[in-house]
Amino acid sequence: MRIYLETMGCQMNRLDSELLTGVLRAAGHEMVADPRQAEVLLYNTCSVRQHAEDKVHSRLGPDLRRKADSHRPILVGVLGCMAQRLGSLLPARYTGLDLVAGPGQLAHIPAMIAQAAAGKPAFALDGADCAEDFDAIDLARDASFAPQRSQAFVRITRGCNKRCAYCVVPAVRGPEVSRRPEHIVEEVRRLIDAGRSQITLLGQTVNSYRWAEAGRTVRFSDLLAMVSGVPGLRRLRFVTSHPIDFGDDVLAAMRDLPNVCPYIHLPAQSGSDAVLKRMDRRYTRSQYDELVDRCRRIVPGVVLAGDFIVGFPGETDADQAASAELIRHSAYKNCFVFKYSPREGTAAAQMPDDVSPTVKRQRNHELLAVQREVGLAHHAGYVGRELEVLTEGPSRRVDKQARLPQPGRMQLVGRTVGDHIVVFDGPIDLAGQYVRVRITGATSLTLFGQRCDD
């Protein structure tokens, strides 16, 4: 059948969709980019923010109307976190919905499509036994299927054992389960053999990875050492880390293993002890500051990125000032700032959402302005240096194309080991290759440069 799959949400969802695409193709289905040509419409959904769920709701109404009016059969399905969170509420609200599947059910989607095509709606939510399933779908991955030519994501854990007050992830993705290290190494080996040179290990709290079996314990730092030894692996990254799981062993591994990139995405969420406590983040401001200093001391040239939530219940102007101060102290390369919105079923949803939308917006702008200053100073420090860049492809800023003299050349974009975005001119066939770029300019988010051998 012709299948249209749309992905909302985080990197974990995008990896789920990549794995599911492989499963569907192996089952003989054809993936199409235009929903109007599809016989099956699937939405792989996110529940973390209301905005993502609203987007799915806005798709389902028109899709189901089209299905009712169409002379040919169309199947419509919701997969992932939103399907798991809302469960039977979805078919109750949307008559004609054919498929609802939790994030641990991806291996069963071909069978569920077959069942729905035979006229019997298929519903499967995750239970306690889906850990095995999720490892199976990762292991069965088609390494030759590559949305990105030179890089791939590899899941090492599923779910989360933290209970941050604002977050729905533990409820929808379940408790944390680590994959067997040998399975991870084998998957990385197959991806490298199929042409990738950069691997990003993925987990909700990736650095809390732990595999224990028959007296043997493999910590995250041990896993980094095992994976980094795969021949041909040029860059090893990982996201996302939780501050309380950062032991010196991980930092020492980052320092000592030459292909582990010196980049850490380290969400802080707030710079105020009072807010961190209400968020149940399990660290204080001074512990976070100490961790940042320790990262810089142990891993030379480490690059940090942050996450913040503004307008959490009870947040005051003084709390906001503490967050701004933390951004300055951490000297992040970049930082994501989100406006708080309550999510049903979380502890924070029981607290009064007492910061007005106007103040949330104002605080969002304020923190982004501070980050722009900090980010500009960070990026300006690279001007004049020569950096290795993995070329990703054409830059989204195509405005310069017309001014480029030679045919076949365009504005390209790539990343450094520190995850800096670098824009430079060159032929399109550099995509997927490593080049040396001399940095000539910087903004708060981007470096600009010239290829050294150009």
For strand 210-213 and strand 216-219, is the pairing parallel, antiparallel, or unpaired?
A: antiparallel
Residues 239-258 that bind ligand SF4 (CB under 6 A): 242
Residues 136-165 that bind ligand SF4 (CB under 6 A): 160, 162-164
Residues 6+ apart with CB under 8 A from 24: 3, 5, 31, 109, 110
| 83 versus 169: smaller Cβ distance to ligand SF4 | 169
Alpha helices in 299-436 (DSSP H): 317-330, 357-380
Could you tell me the smallest distance in angstroms from the CB atom of residue 276 to ligand SF4? 12
| 110 versus 170: smaller Cβ distance to ligand SF4 | 170
Q: What b/e readout covers 236-257, taking b as 16+ CB neighbours within 10 angstroms?
A: bbbbbbbbbbbeeebbebbeeb
For strand 30-31 and strand 2-7, is the pairing parallel, antiparallel, or unpaired?
A: parallel
**Residue from the set 170, 342, 393, 427 that interacts with ligand SF4 by CB under 6 A:** 170
Q: Does 44 bind ligand SF4 (CB under 6 A)?
A: no
| 11 versus 70: smaller Cβ distance to ligand SF4 | 11
| 126 versus 392: smaller Cβ distance to ligand SF4 | 126
Could you tell me the smallest distance in angstroms from the CB atom of residue 239 to ligand SF4? 11
- Burial of 195 from C-beta contacts in 10 A (0-12 / 13-18 / 19+): middle
- Whole-angstrom distance, CA of residue 206 vs CA of residue 62: 38
User: What's the Cα-to-Cα distance from 337 to each of 149, 192, 371, 372, 394, rounded to whole Å?
Assistant: 30, 34, 10, 12, 27
- Whole-angstrom distance, CA of residue 448 vs CA of residue 453: 16
Q: Does 167 bind ligand SF4 (CB under 6 A)?
A: yes
- Whole-angstrom distance, CA of residue 224 vs CA of residue 227: 5
Could you tell me the smallest distance in angstroms from the CB atom of residue 142 to ligand SF4? 28
Q: Does 78 bind ligand SF4 (CB under 6 A)?
A: no
Could you tell me the smallest distance in angstroms from the CB atom of residue 49 to ligand SF4? 12
Could you tell me the smallest distance in angstroms from the CB atom of residue 432 to ligand SF4? 31
Reference 412, options 427, 440, 454; nearest CA is 427
| 105 versus 241: smaller Cβ distance to ligand SF4 | 241
| 166 versus 424: smaller Cβ distance to ligand SF4 | 166
| 245 versus 256: smaller Cβ distance to ligand SF4 | 245
- Phi and psi at 134, nearest 5°, equal -70, -35
**Residue from the set 78, 101, 169, 191 that interacts with ligand SF4 by CB under 6 A:** 169
- Tokens coding 16: 């789920």
| 56 versus 164: smaller Cβ distance to ligand SF4 | 164
| 205 versus 334: smaller Cβ distance to ligand SF4 | 205
- Whole-angstrom distance, CA of residue 236 vs CA of residue 224: 8
- 3-state secondary structure string, 164-179? CCCCCHHHHHCCCEEC
Q: Pick the stretch among 17-25, 166-174, 178-186, 417-425 that binds ligand SF4 (CB under 6 A).
A: 166-174
Could you tell me the smallest distance in angstroms from the CB atom of residue 443 to ligand SF4? 29
Residues 6+ apart with CB under 8 A from 295: 246, 251, 264, 266, 302, 304
Could you tell me the smallest distance in angstroms from the CB atom of residue 281 to ligand SF4? 7
Q: How many CA atoms lie within 13 A of 123 on its CB side?
A: 12
Could you tell me the smallest distance in angstroms from the CB atom of residue 207 to ligand SF4? 11
Q: Pick the stretch among 167-175, 296-304, 338-346, 352-360 that binds ligand SF4 (CB under 6 A).
A: 167-175
Binding mask 182-211 for ligand SF4 (x = CB under 6 A): ----------------------xx------
Could you tell me the smallest distance in angstroms from the CB atom of residue 256 to ligand SF4? 27
- Tokens coding 389: 């860049």
Could you tell me the smallest distance in angstroms from the CB atom of residue 169 to ligand SF4? 4
- Tokens coding 319: 């709390």
Could you tell me the smallest distance in angstroms from the CB atom of residue 204 to ligand SF4? 4
Q: How many residues bind ligand SF4 (CB under 6 A)?
A: 10
- Whole-angstrom distance, CA of residue 353 vs CA of residue 342: 7
Binding site for ligand SF4 (CB under 6 A): 160, 162-164, 167, 169-170, 204-205, 242
